[in-house]
Amino acid sequence: MSAPPTRFRTQVVGAALLDDAAAPTALLAAQRAYPEALRGLWEFPGGKQEPGEGPEQALVRECAEELGTAVELLEELAGPHPQGWPLTGTAAMRVWTAVAAAGAPVAGADHLAVRWLPLDDADAVLALPWIPADLPVVRALLARLAG
Ligand SMILES: Nc1nc2c([nH]c(=O)n2[C@H]2C[C@H](O)[C@@H](COP(=O)(O)OP(=O)(O)OP(=O)(O)O)O2)c(=O)[nH]1
């Protein structure tokens, strides 16, 4: 008998915000302000999908709230699970590449800073203190953009 598929209770969505859709040269990373355990670590802007919301709708809303920018989603960076990339035993994150359609992204109350990371230096991108669960996502993104 096979085990039932895992269902993650918390669906998180994240944006891999790029400076350009056709020829990206930089990725936006955001430095978390809270909770204390994650403060100072870098992440993809985004947040939890709320009841009644679709994932893409949630991501556009989160980017508007957190970065003050309207984003256009490009394509999903599919993870190993239908719910995306496992973060913990109970949370998984679906990730889309995106570009800012209006307004330059800025750090609001959720973030200490936002930073554009040049994509031509993959080692420097990976050297940032990301939330550890994000590292497989960052690696897959760099591979996708390089390929
Ligand atoms: N946004 C985001 N969250 C991440 C990433 N990696 C990761 O482990 N997480 C975790 C941190 C949080 O426990 C959870 C997302 O929660 P959040 O605090 O960003 O979501 P939210 O804005 O909806 O939060 P709130 O209203 O509950 O404060 O997922 C990431 O790259 N981006």
What CATH number is attached to the domain comprising 52? Answer: 3.90.79.10
Average pLDDT, the chain: 96
With respect to residue 2, please indicate whether it lies within any of the assigned structural domains.
no
108 within some domain: yes
Query: Which of 9, 58, 26 lies closest to 124 in space, CA to CA?
Result: 26
In a domain, 29, yes or no: yes
- Give the atom of ligand 1 at the shortest distance from the alpha carbon of 91: 29
- The closest residue, in CA terms, to atom 18 on ligand 1 is 47
Q: Has residue 62 been placed in a domain? A: yes
| Beta carbon of 86 within 6 Å of any ligand 1 atom | no
Residue whose tokens read 């990371």:
117
Q: How far is the centre of ligand 1, averaged over its atoms, from the C-alpha of 13 (Å)?
A: 8
Q: How many domains does the structure of the chain reveal?
A: 1
Question: Is 30 domain-assigned?
Answer: yes
Is residue 116 situated within a structural domain? yes
pLDDT of amino acid 146: 93
Domain of 48?
Answer: 10-146
User: How confident is the model over 11-51, as pLDDT tens digits?
Assistant: 999 999 999 999 999 999 999 999 999 999 999 999 999 99
The radius of gyration of the chain's CA atoms, rounded to the nearest angstrom, is: 15
Ligand 1 centre distance from Cα of residue 81 (Å) = 18
Ligand 1 mean position to 43 CA, how many Å?
Answer: 9
**Residue 147, pLDDT score:** 78
CB atoms within 10 A of CB 119: 18
Residues pairing with 10 in the sheet: 91
Residue 1 has pLDDT above 80, yes or no: no
Q: Is 140 in the pocket of ligand 1 (CB under 6 A)?
A: no
Give mean pLDDT, residues 89-94: 97
| CA–CA dist 41, 30 (Å, integer) | 8
- Residue 85: the pLDDT is 98
For the residues 58-80, what does the mean pLDDT come to?
Answer: 98
* pLDDT above 70 (res 4): no
Which residue puts its alpha carbon closest to atom 17 of ligand 1?
Answer: 47
Closest CA to 46 of 34, 35, 30, 70: 30
Q: Is the CB of 9 under 6 A from ligand 1?
A: no
Q: Residue 101: inside a domain, yes or no? A: yes
- C-alpha closest to that of 44 among 146, 147, 125: 125
Identify whether 93 is part of a domain.
Answer: yes
Q: Which secondary structure element, helix H or strand E, spans residue 14, and what is its range?
A: strand 10-18
Angle at alpha carbon of residue 125, lines to 123 and 126, rounded to 5°: 65
